[in-house]
Structure 1
Amino acid sequence: MPVTYVLVHGAWHSGQCWARVVPLLGASGRRVVTPTLTGYGETRHLMGPETGLRTHTADVVRLLVDLDLRDVVLVGHSYAGMVISAVANEVPERIARLVYLDAMVPEHGESAFDAMPAARGMVGDDWRLPPPPPPFGLFGVTDPVDVAWLNTMLSDHSVRCLAEAVAMDNPALDAIPRTHVHCTIRPEGLEARPVPAVQPNGEPADVRELNAGHDCMITVPGELADVLLAVGDLAESRSPVGAGG
């Protein structure tokens, strides 16, 4: 059964950031869904101090249930590594594979602050966290046209998103295979958390690299699509996940 790609954007961004990748994945005949989480993009007016990881988890779970999506390759970029982990904990029967795209990779009970301690230094006294200044704030994007486009989609992030702990205590979560995609061009001090050699399901780790900065979906959409298409092929080669569940 063909997989469905659900691409979840990270902090400050919106679902628009995947615009260059969607047609490349869609050309394979697979469905691609790119939700905008509450408080970003067209919903930025809904961002408030109560907006947190639970809010965004509920967004994606509701999407999967309302559209009855199954055999999902669930991709989380950056902060959304927290989101996809929590989503898979709630509806593991709908997920064929988790893809952590240059993302936070938490353990049960951790917050984003735990998964990426450098985030603590970005927080001030306000509940609202604006996009960081350059060079990190450009997320590896350097082309002036790309920078201008990126700036149209950036908005504030709630600190609560970084402070809420993720639940990953559903035993069925461990059975879902994972892929980790690391962007190799990154600011000093933001190294990726090491990936264990063995996945929770007992399979060898699946780690791939892109020669790109953090926002690879903007700068190298073709290369990213190639990786995600290969991951989709891998998911479809396995026995169906979630069929009839």
Structure 2
Amino acid sequence: MTVFVLVSGPFTGGWVWREVAARLRESGAGVYPVTLTGMGDQRRPAGPDTDLETHIEDVVRLVDEIDAPDVVVVGHDYGIHPVLGAADRRPERIARIVYLDAGMPQDGDPALAVVPDQAVRERLSHAGGQTADDWRILPPQRDEWQRWGSTEGIPADALARLDRLAAPQPSGTFTQPLRLSGAAAAIPATGVLCTANGTDIAMVELLVASGPPQYRALADPRVGFFEIATGHWPMLSRPDELAGVLLRAAAGEGHRVTAAPDERPAHLRPFLLDVPEQPRERVGRIDLHLPDADRPRPAVVFVHGGPVAPDLRPTPRDWPSYVGYGQYVASLGAVGVTLDHRLYGLADYARAAEDVAAAVGLVRADPRVDGERVALWFFSAGGLLSADWLAAPPPWLRCVAMTYPVLAPLPGWGVVDPRFRPAATVSSSGELPVVLTRVGLEHAAIAATVEEFLSAAGNCEADVEVVDVPLGHHGFETVDHTGQTRDAVDRAVRSVLGHLLG
């Protein structure tokens, strides 16, 4: 008999699984909905010392008490943190881990890093975690649950139950880092994606094919995926469907994302153009690709996307696509600049913006650079970093370029500071030229942000040139080596340089 251990997200307890648990039991499964310490069970009240470790021990203790060979642990939202902590300590007892609309926390990650409510994130960050007199986070009110995830599909009576039974969350459960030894790495896993909350299988496939390299682990044959067309709380909005998905996940079913086993990751494949080799110099976080020139030259600063794991090697400034762009503009008479910034997670945009600004300052101060003629070129999720520059363009910024950009936080990206929304700042860009390369085979959610930006740009008559690549994919410079894509890169580069050199 398969046994399910169900661990829910913040402010909730075992009660949130009532309908799902009933359906699973009707199928013959064993079911253990968990109410973690301090989350509503008066026999296990919380205190200032309640933290993630407390909740991990709750799950470990329950797993130890279960007399069954196949235990499937399900972690929803925050619940994936204690689930992974318990699986790391009892890997021999766990048959499968189910990520229910949850992130992929790694060793050292606190749950706070992905808390979507910005006010809570800032409060705990500024307080250093918690104080003796203020160690709990109150649950949202009825009209505030949306700040923690999409409420699409939740019936009124279920939403009222969520309001009535929600419990304060001990702050330490958010702020204490998750510690993993890697013992659970081989346990099969299933991702259940709630599409109304912003992620679907197509997005996963995009991440594996052309996104940050850490996502290639999702192509492991032991990993499967399901979609449910609902919001962030499917146990309330689609309990029957969720129960069926969990049974299928326990049986090893689910969509598999594939990647060629011996193929280099997309970000390490060759750049689509053969360009003359130019001198390259490393200074701190930046690399300068230098033209053959006897006087200061304009510069193009290439800003990578992400998030990118901090321990990933090579780092983005050494990826063939960025090196290719840097070398190409150098061959045409400008200084190409590639850089590494610290967009390690979705909550890191402010830090990444500081890194980009510091890199630009370093570039402009270099005697080989004409500091009054600089362009910034943003890629993929780095597109959000263009917002500050569009909001208040300095006179030396002669052009902003964007390639397959994300131009608004995607659904489910609640941790991203609202300041990073280019569609809201383009109205302040004045006469600043923007060169936007748009791919036709883009993920729908990303394409929607581009159209939002273009609509806003049209309303304020911003100077935007669109370079269309109808048959191009996200990351096309290393995956689509066609005449169309080569022409698009050449056109975009020469347009940017035209604004710098003209």
Partners of 2:197 and 2:27 in 1: CA distance: 30
Deviation at 1:117, TM superposition (A): 5.5
Map of 1:1-245 to 2, 5 A cutoff?
2-43=1-42, 46-114=45-113, 116=114, 118-119=116-117, 121-123=119-121, 124=123, 126-137=134-145, 140=151, 142-170=154-182, 172-186=183-197, 196-199=215-218, 202-203=220-221, 205-234=223-252
CA distance in 2, matches of 1:6, 1:143: 25
Partner AA of 1:217 in structure 2: M
* 2:75 partner amino acid: G
> What displacement does 1:136 show?
4.5
Mapped contact 1:73–1:96 kept (Cα < 8 A): yes
Q: Distance in 2 between matches of 1:218 and 1:142?
A: 6
TM-score under structure 2 length normalisation: 0.42
Check conservation: 2:9, 2:75, Cα contact below 8 A: yes
Q: CA deviation at 1:104?
A: 3.0
Could you tell me which residue of structure 2 aligns to residue 238 of structure 1? Answer: none
Letter of the 2:170 counterpart: S
Q: Distance in 1 between matches of 2:50 and 2:117?
A: 17
Instruction: Point out where structure 2 has 5 or more consecutive residues left out of the alignment.
Output: 128-133, 209-214, 254-502
Q: In 1, distance between residues paired with 2:9 and 2:115?
A: 17
Determine the structure 1 residue equivalent to 2:480: none
Cα distance in 2, alignment partners of residues 95 and 24 from structure 1: 22
Q: Does the 8 Å CA contact 2:7/2:34 hold for their aligned counterparts?
A: yes
Q: Report how far residue 213 of structure 1 moved.
A: 1.1
Given the superposition, is the C-alpha separation of residues 35 and 118 from structure 1 closer, same or farther in structure 2, using an over 3 Å criterion? closer
1:99-132 deviation per Cα after TM superposition (whole angstroms, max 9, x unaligned): 0101132011111123x16456314353211112
Count of matched residue positions in the alignment of Structure 1 and Structure 2: 228
Which amino acid in 1 is paired with 2:180? M
CA contact (8 A) 1:57 1:87 kept: yes
Greater percentage in strand: 2
Aligned identity (percent) is 34
- Higher gyration radius (CA): 2
1:15 Cα deviation (Å)? Answer: 0.2
Q: Is the contact between residue 3 and residue 30 of structure 1 (CA under 8 Å) also seen in structure 2?
A: yes
Q: In structure 2, what is the Cα distance between the partners aligned to 1:152 and 1:175?
A: 39
How far the C-alpha of 1:42 sits from its partner, in A, is 2.3
C-alpha contact 1:197 1:205 (8 A) present in aligned 2: no
More RCO (CA 8 Å, sep 6+)? 1
TM-score (norm 1): 0.83
Tell me the equivalent position of 2:488. none
Cα distance in 2 for partners of 1:225, 1:148 equals 22
- How far apart in 1 are the matches of 2:216 and 2:145? 31
Q: 1:45 to 1:225 in 2, by over 3 A?
A: closer
